[in-house]
A = this chain, B = another copy of it.
């Protein structure tokens, strides 16, 4: 088990990764809170609540349900949860435990940040994506119409508990989707982590917690390090958008129905690998290793049927863009990325054509 310390603007908190992480809740000063609420999905909670409550040493918790799926990340659902909290007399000293994946974390974190001008929350991420990425750093969000994460806050958790065992109940596809974010962290981190991923990632079993832990902890560390240096995304944190520029456009073009988030990021990684090549920024050898690792993890939903004229105009709507520009994060080698604001439309379109052709010719 590993503990990482995250410095947020207002306080420090621990991200605890590894088998037995839930037990750490026993050391958390719960007595300071007037009440504890769990926000989760019903099926997920029913599967794990026995073990979680026992290990965490919790008794009296109240539960609030959220339906699985991105559509729950809305102001409407947030409003319903706030009304339920009020009805159950949650006050400023209540604590929210967010038990679930990215949707629960983003939505519940947003709720925690604005209910009575802010209550504390603890993240208990249950997907690979949430464990290595969204639970760390305090970003919260809901969608507005088709625009993802338009509304949100920075509201770090007081504690993040990442138990790899819980990943055993993920579907194969959900698990794989999270692996692509791990690959992203490998590209950001450097040859050592990336090399380990090349050796183990495609054979990694989601039900072997000990094995998972060896990948999980370094992947978490990448995120923690970035957040510690740039909590509010003044600049550096934007490197985490690696693969997300194409990714978001693909998700939006398909109405968030075709891809899991990590799958869209996977195409995005392939896209910036190609774009980096075309711009002369990324050597062929590194591009090849990135492509190879992404493709080896398994099949991705197709993109060859998408019309580039529909997808590419969606790029500037990425909310990281300032005044209409697209800011790309491009790998220069494994372990180094560069942010650029000027990539020619021709190069971008060509890179997108490249990955569309890959789709026709899966390895």
Q: Which residues of A contact B (CB under 8 A)?
A: 9-10, 34, 75, 79, 82-83, 86, 89, 91-93, 110, 113-118, 139-141, 144-145, 147, 150-154, 319, 321-324
Given A9-B9, A144-B79, A145-B83, verify A34-B322 contact (CB < 8 Å): yes
Instruction: Among B79, B117, B141, point to the contact of A141 (Cβ < 8 A).
Output: B117
Flag if A147 contacts B91 (CB, 8 Å): no
Distance between Cα atoms of A153 and B153 in the complex (Å):
9
Q: Which residues of B contact A116 (CB under 8 A)?
A: 150, 152, 319
Chain B nearest CB, measured from A313 CB (Å): 14
Enumerate chain B residues within 8 angstroms of A147, measured Cβ to Cβ. Answer: 86
Copies of the chain in the assembly: 2
18 extra interface residue pairs, beta carbon distance < 8 Å, beyond A117-B141, A153-B153: A34-B323, A82-B144, A82-B151, A83-B145, A86-B144, A86-B150, A89-B324, A91-B322, A91-B324, A93-B322, A93-B323, A113-B153, A114-B151, A116-B150, A117-B139, A117-B152, A117-B153, A118-B154
Interface centre among A86, A151, A152 (most CB of B within 10 A): A151
- By a CB distance below 8 angstroms, the chain B residues around A113 are 153
The binding surface of chain A is classed by DSSP as mixed
Which residues of B have CB within 8 Å of A319? 91-92, 116
A144 touches B114 (CB 8 A): no
A89 to B83: give the CA distance in the assembly, Å: 32
Kindly list chain B residues whose C-beta atoms are within 8 Å of the C-beta of A323: 34, 91, 93
Would you list the 3 A-B pairs with minimal beta carbon distance, nearest first?
A: A34-B323, A117-B152, A114-B151
Tell me how far the C-beta of A13 lies from the nearest C-beta in chain B, rounded to whole angstroms. 17
Q: Nearest Cβ in chain B — how far from A44, in angstroms?
A: 26
When chains A and B are docked, how far (Å) is the Cα of A82 from the Cα of B139? 18
Q: Which residue of B lies closest to A111 (CB)?
A: B151
Kindly provide the distance from the CB of A102 to the nearest chain B CB, expressed in whole angstroms.
16
Among A86, A118, A147, max chain B CB count under 10 A is at A86
Min Cβ gap A240→B in Å is 14
Q: How far is the CB of A248 from chain B (nearest CB, A)?
A: 14
